Amino acid sequence: MTSAPVLLQVVSRYPKPTKVKKMIWRTFALAPGIAFICGGVTTGEPAIMAGMTLGGIVMGLGMLVGLDRMHSAGEYPLVFTTIGITAGPYINELWTDIASCRLIEATDLDRFTFSKSGVGKSLQLENKGFWRSTNGRMGSIFPLLGYFFDEKQEQAAKQIFAEFGINCRN
C-alpha cells in the first residue's frame, strides 16, 4: 500500500520518541519484572523461584511490549494513497473496504496528553468487513494516534473520500 502514489499525508502531532526516552521507559518497564524475579530467588524454594521467575518474565515483557506500542504512536504518518489508507502497522484499509467516514471533533484527549495536542478534527472509519469500525473503547483510533487535520487537509480528505465514492459525514 505504501508503494502507491500518495494523495495526502497527515503527520501525527505526538512527538517521535528519542533514543534516550526509549531507554528510560524501557528500564522502568523491565524494573518490576526484575524485582519480581529477585523476590522469587531470595525465597530459596525451587517451585516459588520458578513461578516468580516465569511471572517476572511475562510481566516485564508484557509491560515492555505494551509501552513500546504506546510510545511509537508518533512514528508513522497517516497516508492516503490511490489504494487506501495506511498508518504504519496500526491501520491499513483499502478503499473497497471502507463503508463510510466521519470527521469528528476530538476534544477530550487533552485529559491524556495534558496539552492541546489531543484536540482537533480527526477521522472515524466504518468498514464493510468483519471488524466494522476503527473504534475502540475510547472512540476512534485516529485521535489516539495523534492524527488531526487542519482546514486544508480536511478539505483534501473529503475530496479524496468523494473521489472513491465513500460517504463522508461531518
Same domain, 86 and 114: yes
The per-residue pLDDT for 153 is 93
Contact indicator for 160, 80 with CB cutoff of 8 Å: yes
Burial class (CB in 10 A: 0-12, 13-18, 19+), 139: middle
Q: What is the pTM of this model?
A: 0.66
Same domain, 66 and 85: no
Contact indicator for 15, 119 with CB cutoff of 8 Å: no
- pLDDT 10s digits, 10-64: 988 777 777 887 788 778 878 888 887 888 888 888 888 888 888 888 888 888 7
Beta strands, E only, 68-152: 78-81, 84-87, 91-94, 98-106, 120-127, 135-136, 139-140
Same domain, 91 and 122: yes
Most confident of 24-28, 74-78, 95-99, 139-143: 95-99
Closest CA to 170 of 100, 102, 98, 101: 102
Res. 71: pLDDT tops 70: no
Domain end marker among 71, 95, 115: 71
Q: Three cell numbers at 80? A: 492516503
Say if 1 falls within a structural domain.
no
Same domain, 136 and 64: no
Same domain, 52 and 108: no
The per-residue pLDDT for 132 is 54
Same domain, 138 and 164: yes
Closest CA to 116 of 106, 125, 126: 106
* Number of domains making up the chain: 2
Phi, psi of 82 (to 5 degrees): -75, -15
The per-residue pLDDT for 13 is 79
Q: Three cell numbers at 112? A: 491524556
Domain end marker among 52, 71, 90: 71
Range of the domain at 27: 19-71
The per-residue pLDDT for 66 is 73
Same domain, 56 and 83: no
DSSP state of 17: P
Beta strands, E only, 46-97: 78-81, 84-87, 91-94
Same domain, 49 and 86: no
Same domain, 105 and 65: no
